[in-house]
Amino acid sequence: MPFLRTSPTDVLISAERKKELRLFEGHAGLRFRKLELLNQAFSHRSHANEAGDGVENNERLEFLGDSVLGLVVAEHLYLTLPERPEGELARIKSFVVSEESLAGIARAIRIDNFILIGKGEEHSGGRRKKAILADALEAVIGALFLDSGFKAAKKFVLRYTVPEIQKVLEDRHRKDYKTLLQELVQKRYRTYPRYNLVRKTGPDHDRTFWIEVVVDGHKYGPGEGKNKKEAEQVAARRAWEDLYDDDE
């Protein structure tokens, strides 16, 4: 059952834009009662700021969609993996709802072709940015929830996240631990991880780097790698796993 009774914005949608939105619905397997909601879900802050005239950005819808997404995935994991402990379910969920995973889903349903972004963001490659794509997907979920209710939103979420869950269970998922750690730290501590070079060894052509990551005053690692990025990933993985282990 839809929860919204009035239009989210008084801004009119052009006939051309309506055609674009209907095209997206075909890609994503959706049908909105109120296209204004879907259009708002695609409205990045940079676009809304430039457009003015009461144009709303998608951040409130993103906030709502994030909660709907989390609930649907958590319920599915709880019901389908009864033998898995809480900590393992939390780890699986963190991969599935990560920026990396959501951006991949967003690209698959061509959200990058339909988002509305400002000129500056456009020139800086905003349509390819994982954060913008992931946020827009969450906003679409929030918009669908308001437009058509929880059942429709759940069906949409499961259609695209169940394959991601299967990837995690089969260990075929991409493990970007720096992004995962940053998302976890932002939510839990309202801050960011900080990476420090502890030492480096070896000649210039064969360096080994040792890097630690600091989270909320605690040091994790150091991680070892042949370059800084590799060492940071190792340190981030140790921090991410330790932080989840602390909750068990």
Q: Where are the domains of the chain?
A: 15-169, 179-245
- The answer to whether residues 99 and 183 touch, using CB atoms and an 8 Å cutoff, is yes
* CA gap 160, 102 in Å, rounded: 9
The reported pLDDT for the residue numbered 4 is: 46
User: pLDDT tens digits for the chain (248 residues)?
Assistant: 454 443 444 457 889 999 999 999 998 999 999 999 999 999 999 998 888 767 799 999 999 999 999 999 999 999 999 999 988 898 899 889 988 899 999 999 999 999 999 998 888 888 889 899 999 999 999 999 999 999 999 999 999 999 999 988 887 776 788 888 988 898 889 899 999 999 999 888 888 999 999 999 999 989 999 899 889 999 998 998 888 766 55
Clarify whether 138 is annotated catalytic: yes
SS3 9: coil
Q: Which position among 62, 66, 121, 164 bears the catalytic label? A: 66
The reported pLDDT for the residue numbered 246 is: 61
In 29-171, which ranges are continuous DSSP H helix?
A: 35-41, 45-51, 59-80, 86-96, 99-108, 119-123, 130-148, 150-169
Q: Which residues of 194-224 are buried (b: 16+ CB within 10 A; e: fewer)?
A: ebeebeeeeeeeeeebbbbbbbeeeebbbbe
Handedness of CA 244, 86, 144, 169 (dihedral sign): positive
- The dotted CATH code for 15-169 is 1.10.1520.10
The phi and psi torsions of 92 (rounded to 5 degrees) equal -60, -45
- The answer to whether residues 99 and 178 touch, using CB atoms and an 8 Å cutoff, is no
Could you give the count of Cα atoms lying within 13 Å of 167 in the half-sphere of its Cβ? Answer: 16
- The answer to whether residues 58 and 144 touch, using CB atoms and an 8 Å cutoff, is no
Instruction: Check for a shared fold between 15-169 and 179-245.
Output: no
Q: Which position among 138, 147, 176, 232 bears the catalytic label? A: 138
Pick the CATH number of 179-245 from 3.20.20.140, 3.40.50.300, 3.30.160.20, 1.10.240.10: 3.30.160.20
pTM: 0.74
